Amino acid sequence: MESSKWEMVELQRNSGNWREVVEEIVRIEKRVFPKHESLSKSFEDEIKKKHTGLLYTRIGDEVAAYLMFSSTSSLCASITKLAVKEKYRRQGHGEELLKAAIEKCKSRNISRVSLHVDPLRIEATNLYKKLGFQVDTLVERYYSSDRDAYRMYLDFD
């Protein structure tokens, strides 16, 4: 990846562009995820929660990708959202965001990171496996009556 062209940022509540960034992410969220999987309506509420964080990739003045994570306890965290704008896919941004989130968790002494993913999302499932996530179980009807999810996890030694 050409490091001069992009930067990864952790969204801060007090940053001047908070609203603008959140609005841009909500627009991506609406395009990428079907309604029942989209947080677009509640994104603002989610991101304001105390134990939720958001990393995003900026290219110029555009948000290219984002990842939301949440600490479910002092030992566990979950990745609750990951999306890359279509035109920026397959350029390593998804992997970079996920690696950064994993490092963040490690530095906070979290021992397990988990997530849910539709097994039909081959790109995402491959990415999670590439970074060491394992399938824990299949949760039937997790997203909707006809969409299941793998629950996946990554443990740190």
CA gap 127, 34 in Å, rounded: 20
User: Between residues 104 and 121, which has the closer beta carbon with respect to ligand COA?
Assistant: 121
Q: Under a CB-based contact definition with an 8 Å cutoff, are residues 77 and 110 in contact? A: yes
Of residues 24-53, which lie at the interface with ligand COA (CB under 6 A)?
Answer: 32
For 60, the 3-state DSSP assignment is: coil
Among 117, 133, 150, 154, binds ligand COA (CB under 6 A): 117
Candidate ranges 11-19, 68-76, 85-93, 135-143; the one touching ligand COA (CB under 6 A): 85-93
CA-to-CA dists, residue 3 to 8, 57, 60, 64, angstroms: 10, 11, 12, 14
Is 8 an interacting residue with respect to ligand COA (CB under 6 A)? no
- The residues facing 59 across adjacent strands are 62
Is residue 87 close enough to count as binding ligand COA by CB under 6 A?
no
Q: Does 122 bind ligand COA (CB under 6 A)?
A: yes
Work out whether 6 is an interface residue with ligand COA (CB under 6 A).
Answer: no
